[in-house]
Chains A and B, each alone.
Chain A
Amino acid sequence: MTLNTLRAGVAALAIMAGATLPVMAQDLTIGLRAGPDSIDPHWSTLGSQAEALRHIFDTLVGVDENLQLEPALATSWEPISPTTWEFKIREGVKFHDGSDLTAEDVKFSIERIPEVTGPMSMTIYTKSVESVEVIDDYTLHVHTAGTAPSLPNDFIRLFVVPASIGMEVGNEEFNSGESAIGTGPYRFVSWEPKGDLVMERFDDYWGEAPHWERVVRKEIPDDAARVAALRSGQVDLINYVPASDYLTMQNDSSLDTFVSDSVYILNVQPVVRDELPQKVRVNGQEIDENPLQDLRVRTALDLAIDRDTLVRVVLEGLGTPANQLMPEGFFGYSTELGPREYNLDEARRLLEEAGYADGFEIDFTCTNNRVPGDSVVCEALAQMWSRLGLTVNAQALNGTVFFPAAAREEYSLAMSAWGTLTGEASYTYGSLLHTKDPELGLGAFNRTGYSNAEFDDLFQQARENLDDDARRELYEEASRIVMEDRALIPTVILQTVWAAPTGTLTFTPRVDQETLAYRITPVSD
C-alpha cells in the first residue's frame, strides 16, 4: 500500500466515523477524572459517585456552589424538639417511572442505607438517626439519638429512591437501570464500571429544566488523555486540568479555563503523643522525648512555612494560603484568625527556646496521588523546614500505602488533604481533632493524639446546640483554640481547573468540585 492510499483510507475511516456520530448542540460530553463505583446512590460516599448520581437522584437537602444549604426535595426543615427534626417534602415531584414522591420514599431511603451500603459507608450520614416517622404524605419527622443540629448538613448526600423498588435490590439492579429511578433532572440510560455514564433529560423534572438533552460523562483518569480528548474535540469540557497544562492553556486562545477553590486543604499533622512512632534524631542519636509535644516547636514549624511561595511557585498559582482547617464562609470558620504569619527568625528563636538550637532530624510522610500538588508541597515543606536547621526526610507515598499505615499510627509527622465536605465544622472537628473516643464515636481520624479538654467541651456544647448563631460562635471559638495549639497546621487550599473550548460553555465552578451538567449552559448563540 502506498502512503497515499493509506492516507486516503484513514481519511475515509475518519469521515465514516464522523458520519455515524452526529454531534448535536443538545448533547454535552464531559471528560472526568473519576466516575461512580455504582449506580446505587446508597452504596458509597465517594465524591465522584455523589457527583454523578446527583443527575439522576435528588437529595433531601440541597447545596449551592459554596456548600450553603438550599431546599431540594425538602422545602423546609426545622427542629421541633431537641431530638426531632421536621422536614416538609416538596409536592408534585415525579419519579422517572411516573410515580409521585412522598414522605414514605424518604423514610425508605434513610432506612435502606444501613442495609446496602459498602466499605465507604454512607451510615456516616444517618448515624444520628434513631427512627423516621411519616406524619403525612409531605411531612416527615426524624428522631435522633441526642441532639443533632447538623442533621440537615448530613442529608445533603441523602439521595431519595422510590420505596417501590423494595429492600432487596442491590447494585446489579441499579447498574442495569432497572432500579435506577430517581427524581433528578436526568434519567439513566447506561453505565458500566469505569466506562461512560449516559443520561437523557427527564421532562417531568420538578426544577428548572436543564439545557442538554443528552449527557455523556466519560471517565478519563489519565490527565494527558483527558486533555487530548478536549483538544481533539471528543469532549466539550474536562475537569482536573493538570497544573502544567493549565499554564499552556492560559496562552491558548482556543480554550477557556475555569478556576475554583476546592474544599481540600493540605494539613500537616504533628503527633503529640508521649512516644513518637518514628523517633526524632539529634546529632544522629534517637531521642526518647517528642519535640512535637512542645507548642514552641509546632509554632516554629508553622512560622517557617512560606505559604505565598507554596501557592505561587510550587502550585503554579493554583491554590490559596490556608489560615485554618476550612475555607472561608464555612459554618464555624473563624473570621478573627488572620493570615498565617511567615517569620523565620521568630521560628528559629522559638526552636532555640525549646532546646533544639541545633535542630533535629525527623521523618515526614505525605500522600503523592490523592490531590493535585500533594507531593510537590511535601517536598517544598521539607526544604522550608530545613532553613530552620531541621533535617526533614520527606517521603511521598501512594495513598494505598499511606492510609493503612496512618491508621496504624506509624507516622510522626504526616501530611494529607482533608475536605470539609458537609460545609460545616462538626464533620472535620469531630473526626480529626476531638479526643479519640470510640464510645462517643468521635476522634476516629485523630491520628496525632491531640486532646484538649477545653476544645472537647466546646465541641460537645456546640454539637448539642440547635441555635445556629450560638453554635456558630462555639465552633468559631473551637477553631481559634486548635489554631493556637497548632493541633494541625494548615498549609494551602487547593484549587482546581476545568477547561472547555473558548466561548462555548458558561459554568460556575463549585467548591465541592462537582461538575453538574444541569448547571452548565451553552454561551447564548
Chain B
Amino acid sequence: MIAFILQRLMQSVLVVFAMSVIVFVGVYAIGNPIDVLIDPGATQSIRDALIERYGLDQPLWRQYFTFVTNVAQGDLGRSMVYNVPVTSLIFSRLPATLELVFVAMFLATALGVPLGIWAGYKPDSFSSKAIMALSILGFSVPTFWIGMLLIMGFAVNLGWLPSGGRGLVAEFLGFRTSLTSAEGWSHVLLPAINLSLFKMGLMIRLTRAGMVEAMRADYVKFARAQGLSEREVVFGHVLRNISIPIVTVFGLELGSTLAFAVVTESVFNWPGVGKLIIDSILQLDRPVMVSYLVMVVILFVLINLVVDIVYARLDPRVRLKGEE
C-alpha cells in the first residue's frame, strides 16, 4: 500500500515537471508577457527595464532554472498582474470552486445513480424512457446555454434565485464557505445544477448500462433463487458489481470539474479559480499559470489514487501494485 502510494507520487512529480516545461515553452513561444501588460504610453527604456526586472531577457533555460530553484525552496512566485504570492491568490479562490463542484457532484451522484438504477432495473417502463431521454439532453445541450436558460427562468423572470455571484461567506471549520447560510445556498443552487446536468446524464447512462448487463448475470438468478428480496439483490449484489466504472468516472469527472468549471463560473459570475486562470492565460501571467496547472496535476493524481484505493475496497480481486 505504502509502496503503491509512493510510486504514484513519484509519477506525479514527473508529470508536474513535464507540465511546467510545456507551460514555459508555450508562454515563451507566444511572446513576451510585458508586451501584453505594458501601458502604451511607456517608453522603450521603461519596457527594457521591466523586461530585465522580471528576468524575461534571460535565456529560457535560465528562467526555468530560476523557477525550479525557487519552487524547491517552496516559493511558487508572485503573480505579475496582482503582485501577490501565487499560492495565496489561488487559495483565495479555490474554496469557491470546491464548494460549487462538491454540491454539483453530490447532486449528480445522488440523483444520477438512483435514476440510473431504476432505468436499468425497469428498462422498458415509460419512466425509464423518460429518464433516458432527459439524460441525453443533460449531456448534449451546451452548459452555457442551459445556464442562461436557468438564469432567465429562475432569476430574471421568476426572481426566486440570484442570477450570479457567491453569497455571504462565513468561516466554518477553518474553511470559508457560503454553504452555512440560506443565502449562500440560494446562490450556489443554480450554478451547481447547471454544472451537474452533464455529469448526471453520464451517471445515469453509466449506471443503467451496468444494471442492464448485471441483471442478466447468473449471480442475480442465484441470489433470487436463494430467496433474497429484490432490494437485497439490487443493492447488495448488483450495485457493488457495477460500481467500479461509476467510481472511475466519478473520479475523473470530479477532477476535470474542479479544474475546468470555468464556463459555469463565468456564466454565473462565480468567483472561483476558473476565471482566474483564464485571465492569467490571457495576460500571460506565467507564475499563476504554472502554479495552477501544477496544482491541477497533483489534484488528478490524488483523486486517481483515492479511486484506486476504493477499487480495492469494492472488489477484493483488485490488488494494488506493490501490495504483497
Chain A residues proximal to chain B, CB less than 8 Å = 10-11, 13-14, 16-17, 20-21, 37-38, 40, 43, 45, 118-121, 123-124, 127, 170-172, 175, 192-196, 218, 220-222, 224-226, 228-229, 231-234, 369, 398-401, 403-408, 418, 421-422, 427, 431-432, 436, 438, 441-445
B271 near A124: Cβ-Cβ < 8 Å: no
**Pick the contact of A194 from B35, B83, B154, B276 — CB < 8 Å?**
B276
A45 near B82: Cβ-Cβ < 8 Å: no
* Interface-centre pick from B42, B155, B185 (highest chain A CB count, 10 A): B42
B183 near A444: Cβ-Cβ < 8 Å: no
B104 CB to closest chain A CB (Å) equals: 17
Chain B residues near A422: list those with CB within 8 A: 41
* Interface-centre pick from B49, B92, B160 (highest chain A CB count, 10 A): B160
A232 near B156: Cβ-Cβ < 8 Å: yes
Q: Output the nearest chain A residue to B47 by Cβ-Cβ distance.
A: A444
B82 near A119: Cβ-Cβ < 8 Å: no
User: B6 within 8 Å of A by Cβ?
Assistant: no
User: B152 within 8 Å of A by Cβ?
Assistant: yes
Question: How many angstroms from the CA of A229 to the CA of B165 in the assembled complex?
Answer: 9
B39 near A45: Cβ-Cβ < 8 Å: yes
**Pick the contact of B275 from A20, A194, A228, A400 — CB < 8 Å?**
A194
Question: How many angstroms from the CA of A403 to the CA of B151 in the assembled complex?
Answer: 36
Given contacts A228-B151, A399-B282, A407-B35, is CB(A234)–CB(B47) below 8 Å? no
Q: Output the nearest chain A residue to B33 by Cβ-Cβ distance.
A: A119
B40 near A400: Cβ-Cβ < 8 Å: no
Given contacts A120-B38, A127-B46, A220-B269, is CB(A171)–CB(B186) below 8 Å? no
- Could you write out 9 A-B pairs with CB less than 8 Å apart? A13-B185, A14-B161, A119-B54, A170-B83, A171-B82, A194-B279, A404-B32, A432-B40, A438-B45
Given contacts A121-B38, A124-B41, A127-B43, is CB(A225)–CB(B268) below 8 Å? yes
B89 near A427: Cβ-Cβ < 8 Å: no
Chain A residues near B156: list those with CB within 8 A: 228, 231-232
Number of interface residues of B (CB under 8 A): 63
* Interface-centre pick from B41, B49, B182 (highest chain A CB count, 10 A): B41
Given contacts A218-B165, A222-B269, is CB(A124)–CB(B182) below 8 Å? no
B65 CB to closest chain A CB (Å) equals: 22
Question: How many angstroms from the CA of A221 to the CA of B156 in the assembled complex?
Answer: 19
B163 near A441: Cβ-Cβ < 8 Å: no
Question: How many angstroms from the CA of A34 to the CA of B38 in the assembled complex?
Answer: 17
Question: How many angstroms from the CA of A431 to the CA of B80 in the assembled complex?
Answer: 24
**Pick the contact of A398 from B34, B44, B81, B282 — CB < 8 Å?**
B282
B83 near A442: Cβ-Cβ < 8 Å: no
User: B299 within 8 Å of A by Cβ?
Assistant: no
User: B13 within 8 Å of A by Cβ?
Assistant: no
User: B31 within 8 Å of A by Cβ?
Assistant: yes
User: B21 within 8 Å of A by Cβ?
Assistant: no
A233 near B89: Cβ-Cβ < 8 Å: no
Chain B residues near A445: list those with CB within 8 A: 40
Chain B residues near A427: list those with CB within 8 A: 41
B83 near A171: Cβ-Cβ < 8 Å: yes
User: B181 within 8 Å of A by Cβ?
Assistant: yes
Question: How many angstroms from the CA of A445 to the CA of B267 in the assembled complex?
Answer: 36
**Pick the contact of B182 from A20, A175, A220 — CB < 8 Å?**
A20
**Pick the contact of A20 from B164, B183, B279 — CB < 8 Å?**
B183
B222 CB to closest chain A CB (Å) equals: 36
A402 CB to closest chain B CB (Å) equals: 9
Question: How many angstroms from the CA of A421 to the CA of B42 in the assembled complex?
Answer: 13
User: B266 within 8 Å of A by Cβ?
Assistant: yes
Chain B residues near A436: list those with CB within 8 A: 44
Given contacts A11-B160, A400-B284, is CB(A118)–CB(B80) below 8 Å? yes
Given contacts A16-B182, A194-B276, is CB(A119)–CB(B160) below 8 Å? no
Given contacts A13-B189, A119-B38, A441-B45, is CB(A228)–CB(B32) below 8 Å? no
* Interface-centre pick from A10, A171, A224, A398 (highest chain B CB count, 10 A): A224
User: B84 within 8 Å of A by Cβ?
Assistant: yes
Q: Output the nearest chain A residue to B266 by Cβ-Cβ distance.
A: A222
